[in-house]
Amino acid sequence: MVETGWTRSTLMSNLIELAKEGNTLTRDTFGLLYATDLADRLENQIIPALRSGFIVLSDRYVYTAFARHLVRGGDRDWVRGVFGFALIPDAVFYLQTDVASLVPRVINSKGMDYWESGMDLHLGADLYDNFCAYQQRLLTEYEAMAKEFEFQMIETVGRGIEEIQEDLRHRIEPVVRRPRKIDPAGLDLKGIDAKVER
């Protein structure tokens, strides 16, 4: 199994962090940087792993870019076109939550930062208010995409980590055990736009 995730490209991760430091990124530049990050990971991590017969687990995928772009007032067709090279995943597991549950989780991990709080959008009086308003908008976008892209929904509110983990294992196991749809010698490299047009 190979694991990858948002901003883990060796080419782009440092550049993205550096670009975020100035708090001056535009919505479209943000999208282009993350698309480049995914393109690099696809070419150097994901596709080679799939061709070798590995299962690839990705923490966040194009859907995060879609949600962030739309919440910032971006064009749906533009952002989906930018990520049109992405592979269509076999399954997407969406951990459903609410803002009240997110707040302590974020505070106990890395804390609220400028971008994760949507401070560039000026939605609230302070970091906390902005975080809550921004995250609620993101959750609304995720809920809409969950229906469109048929995410497997996993409720997290009011459940312990062990229970959520057991639910995930139960849902992931059939995906892992089913026969692969792709011939490892010749991956089907259809982009995400094929799913969008469905």
> Quick one: residue 91, left, alpha or beta (phi over 0 = left, psi -120 to 50 = alpha)?
beta
* Domain of 69, in residue numbers: 1-88
Q: Give the pLDDT band of residue 41 (cuts 50, 70, 90).
A: very high
What is the rounded average pLDDT of the residues 38-44? 96
Which residues contact residue 44 at a Cβ distance below 8 angstroms, ignoring those fewer than 6 apart?
A: 9, 10
Is residue 194 one of the residues assigned to a domain?
A: no
pLDDT in tens, 92-127: 999 999 999 999 989 998 889 999 899 999 999 999
- The span from the CA of 135 to the CA of 141, in Å, is 10
* 56/95 same-domain check: no
- The span from the CA of 45 to the CA of 13, in Å, is 14
User: pTM for the whole thing?
Assistant: 0.84
Is residue 34 one of the residues assigned to a domain?
A: yes
How many structural domains comprise the chain? Answer: 2
- The span from the CA of 73 to the CA of 121, in Å, is 10
* 46/28 same-domain check: yes
* 122/66 same-domain check: no
Residue 65: Cβ within 10 Å count = 25
Phi and psi dihedrals of 79, rounded to 5? -65, -35
Is residue 193 one of the residues assigned to a domain?
A: no
Is residue 186 one of the residues assigned to a domain?
A: no
